[in-house]
């Protein structure tokens, strides 16, 4: 299937209007990570190089057609000395399918602290998901064949008191990426939508549900490479009314906290007809 370069490819149509490529896929609707990633690439193209992405907040408004390209319209909300803000709307067939605000920062000096990475097996000690996935889920490994994804087995998940639903996932892009930090940020934005909603299903494994991302927020905290191992420490503090709230912290294998994600998704129970 598509490489990350193909998935995030955009074409500039006007000063602040871009068109994202459609890619070969098995999915019935456009993958949310691809829409968010293309929207972020569009926003990046409108800011000075000295600014780095520090956050994004997006809403998935309608299912995208994966056979059609998406047009992204960027609004320049603010250009300041330290921060700038962009709003991006993804459009198909004249209707908005995604909207996102992205904030950029030049970086400052200040106090530092971070949470400690949970103690889990290293990725080399875990099986590649493509070798352990059930036959009915193997399509996912074909869809994301350029990603090495390794689920921490439930018995090895680092449990925290009072946290009801957890899962932990190691992942990396299989191929060497350019050194440009923005490439890695946009690649991680793409990847961050993958597996996260599954943390809301950990305690409901046998309940059939319709699943979809509803909104997605992400903060980029420290430099990283998406082609090196990252641990996605995920949890779901609540599920109710057909929606699951999920969150994740992303660490390097050395234990550096590099990103944080919060997402709410649809986990609507499927009823027999």
Q: Which residues are the active-site residues?
A: 193, 213, 263
Characterise 94 by phi-psi region: left (phi > 0), alpha (psi -120 to 50), beta (else): left
Q: What is the DSSP letter of 97?
A: E
H-assigned helices in 102-166: 129-132, 138-143
Contacts of 206 by beta carbon, 8 Å cutoff, 6+ apart: none
Among residues 225, 217, 215, the alpha carbon closest in space to that of 253 is found at 225
CA 253 to each of CA 2, 105, 152, 226: distance values in angstroms, whole numbers, following the listed order: 26, 26, 14, 12
Assigned token pair, 66? 């994966």
Contacts of 79 by beta carbon, 8 Å cutoff, 6+ apart: none
């Amino acid at each position: 299937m598509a490489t990350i370069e193909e998935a995030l490819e955009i074409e500039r149509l006007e000063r602040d209007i871009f068109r994202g490529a459609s890619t070969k896929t098995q999915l019935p609707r456009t993958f949310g990570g691809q829409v968010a990633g293309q929207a972020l690439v569009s926003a990046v193209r409108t800011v000075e190089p000295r600014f780095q992405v520090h956050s994004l907040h997006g809403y998935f408004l309608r299912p995208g057609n994966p056979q059609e390209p998406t047009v992204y319209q960027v609004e320049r909300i603010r250009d300041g000395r330290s921060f700038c803000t962009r709003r991006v709307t993804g459009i198909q067939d004249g209707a908005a399918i995604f909207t996102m605000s992205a904030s950029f920062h030049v970086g400052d000096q200040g106090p530092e602290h971070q949470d400690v990475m949970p103690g889990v097996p290293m990725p080399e000690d875990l099986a590649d998901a493509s070798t352990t996935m059930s036959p009915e889920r193997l399509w996912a490994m074909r869809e994301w064949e350029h990603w090495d994804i390794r689920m921490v087995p439930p018995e090895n998940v680092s449990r925290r008191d009072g946290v009801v639903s957890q899962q932990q996932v190691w992942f990396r892009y299989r191929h060497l990426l350019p050194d440009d930090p923005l490439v890695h940020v946009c690649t991680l934005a793409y990847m961050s939508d993958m597996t996260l909603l599954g943390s809301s299903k950990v305690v409901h494994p046998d309940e059939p549900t319709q699943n979809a991302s509803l909104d997605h927020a992400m903060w980029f905290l420290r430099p990283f490479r998406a082609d090196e191992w990252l641990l996605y420490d995920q949890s779901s503090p609540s599920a109710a009314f057909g929606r699951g709230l999920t969150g994740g912290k992303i660490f390097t294998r050395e234990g550096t906290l590099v990103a944080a994600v919060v997402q709410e998704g649809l986990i609507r129970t499927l009823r027999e007809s």
